[in-house]
Amino acid sequence: MRPESAAAPSARVSARLWPESDDDGRPGPNANLERFAEELDRTLQLRRISTGKAMLDRAEAALAALDPAHPHAARLLLLVAQWVDVGYRDHRLLDSLLLRFPPDCRRRLAIGDYLRLRMVDAFLALSLEDVDSAIDALDFVLKTEGDLSGEGLATLAHFWKGRAHRKKGEYESALLHIVRARELAQKSHDEIFTAVIQIQESWLLFQKGMRKEALRLLSHAENVLKATDHYVALGNIESARGRIVRRSGEYTLALEHFDRAIALYAQGDPNHPNLARALVNAAYVRRLLSLQLRRKIDARAQPGGAGRSPAAGSGLRARYQQISHQAILDLRRAREIYALHAHAGGTGNVLFNLGYLHLDRGDIDHAAQEAAEAYRLGLEKNDHILMARARILQTTAENARVEEQLGEDVDIAVYANRALQHSEEALALARSTQNRRLLAGAWIARGGTAANDFFQDWETARRCASDAASLMGPGENDHLVDALAALKSQIVRASGISDTLRAWSEGMVGDKTFQQIAEEFAEIVIPKVWMREDRRIARVAESLSISPKKVRRILRNAGFLERG
């Protein structure tokens, strides 16, 4: 490579490809390449998405014949990568353009242009879910770019590198790079790009339990971006809001946010990968809503169940079927979109969610098959998060087989040991990330395995439940908390309250803190008092001199009250 200062203007500026002016006098596909790149860059900075897409469409033939020797060719290629990032076509466009820059061509490039091509390589790798290669390329750019002045690549490199680390579940590294990108954008007074970066920052702050700060950043970003037609960023804001409120158990509100995200993505591109992701998130919430309805249906069917009118029960069942069916339709559409982009990770998440829908209907075999295929796709892309989720689903499916006593005794042993193996693998994979919720889910799966009819290892189950509980953040009130409550209830019912109290009285508390013991004691005592007081929360609160809010929380955590 020759240094940037030695770059000489190419004599091969192609007037044929980039004539001096368009019919209306505006820079466009008929303008010279340098002017076109400048206009395309300005349009990107302002996030005038429809205008930029039209410019690139008109320049399609010129781009296909791009001369790699042109002094602005690498700059234009990096711009195209950024346009792909904001919603123009997909990575296949970059594939064809990068072929015009073979190794021998790259060796003759100025350092700045070489770094721009490495940035394109990194973005392409990120698009292809080769996250490690993307991180390596961006590391190289950041280390080299620091020795150059006026390159302006650092902001974008930190932004993409932060996203790559986030995809791996490396949230501390992700936040470090995203914050640096935001600081550099603010230093350049680039308000729009700062807002785009803050969308990523908000999610990472939420992962650290900073819900209010995350929502505040999303609102700020929306105020800046609402004057643009940047549908990807605006859809990302709604999608992030949906995931944030979903964790607090506000499923109906979460679904509203996801539906708005779907509409925003679809306005710009009906086959955008982010649209598929929003459809998967919406399907996930619909499944959780359908589970709530099924619990109500089951409660009405029990002897003494309240409100057992045939009309009311029929209405609930119809609503349950409608929501479940829509979840399946959402997943089918998401799968079609991911297939168009050959997106293995997205397809794996579709399979993972389909598996749970099969399991909800009692179709264990299909659930296990979907989980196995999701794991295979995760393994193919070295996606530890997807692999761990698939192993958790496989654990749940094998435990369901144990619970239903499917087969002979020797079969039950096989199912139980398979569940144990899957749950241990899920824990190992979850520990390799910084996703505490994933790790909590893995602990719950491991605890459920210890508590199944084959092992009945109550001490291990208690330890797993305690480890999962320690990972739950304040204000979390969703399906994961429900799963933990169900595990705790199973442990208490099966192992006996007296054994627990006897162990405590003898000082056998394991590695639990006093706060954890107090919480477990409350989950033993409060439900008993609640039942004695005719299931009246106000009476329990008065009798024990505690707040009704705490009574409700304890009853929910112990699995006696439905959430949402």
Cross-strand partners of 110: 2
**57 CA to centre of own chain:** 32
Q: What is the C-alpha to C-alpha distance for residues 329 and 72, in angstroms, rounded to an integer?
A: 46
515 CB burial (10 A radius; 0-12, 13-18, 19+): exposed
Q: Two tokens at 298?
A: 């089951």
Q: What is the C-alpha to C-alpha distance for residues 61 and 152, in angstroms, rounded to an integer?
A: 29
Q: What is the C-alpha to C-alpha distance for residues 401 and 419, in angstroms, rounded to an integer?
A: 10
Q: What is the C-alpha to C-alpha distance for residues 484 and 12, in angstroms, rounded to an integer?
A: 67
What CA–CA distances, in Å, run from 152 to 75, 85, 184, 185, 532?
12, 18, 9, 10, 69
**Contact of 39 with 27, CB cutoff 8 Å:** yes
**Contact of 487 with 461, CB cutoff 8 Å:** yes
pLDDT value at position 518? Answer: 79
What does pTM read for this prediction?
Answer: 0.84
pLDDT value at position 303? Answer: 60
Q: Two tokens at 226?
A: 């609402």
Closest Cα partner for 89 from 335, 343, 272, 345? Answer: 272
pLDDT value at position 558? Answer: 66
Q: Which residues contact 97 (CB under 8 A, 6 or more apart)?
A: 63, 66, 77, 80
**Contact of 440 with 176, CB cutoff 8 Å:** no
CA angle 220/261/174 to nearest 5° reads: 60
User: 10: left (phi > 0), else alpha (psi -120 to 50), else beta?
Assistant: beta
Other beta carbons less than 10 A from residue 26's beta carbon: 12
Block residue for tokens 């479940």? 324
Strands (E), 248-340: none
Query: SS3 string of 199-229?
Result: HHHHHHHHHCCCHHHHHHHHHHHHHHHCCCC
Q: Which residues contact 160 (CB under 8 A, 6 or more apart)?
A: 119, 122, 123, 126, 134, 138
pLDDT value at position 148? Answer: 58
| 3-state SS class at 2 | strand
Max CA distance (Å), the chain: 91
Architecture of domain 496-564: Orthogonal Bundle (1.10)
- Domain-wise residue ranges, the chain: 4-221, 496-564
**311 CA to centre of own chain:** 39
Domain 4-221: give its CATH code.
1.25.40.10
Residues of the chain with pLDDT under 70: 1-31, 146-151, 302-313, 406-407, 495-506, 508-509, 558-564
DSSP 181-192: HHHHHHHTT-HH
pLDDT tens column, 285-336: 999 999 989 888 877 776 655 555 666 668 888 999 999 999 999 999 999 9
Q: What is the C-alpha to C-alpha distance for residues 481 and 467, in angstroms, rounded to an integer?
A: 13
Q: Two tokens at 215?
A: 């929502």
Cross-strand partners of 2: 110
Q: What is the C-alpha to C-alpha distance for residues 343 and 274, in angstroms, rounded to an integer?
A: 11
Q: Report the chain's C-alpha Rg in angstroms.
A: 28
Task: Give just the sign of the alpha carbon dihedral 395, 397, 402, 408.
Answer: negative
**31 CA to centre of own chain:** 41
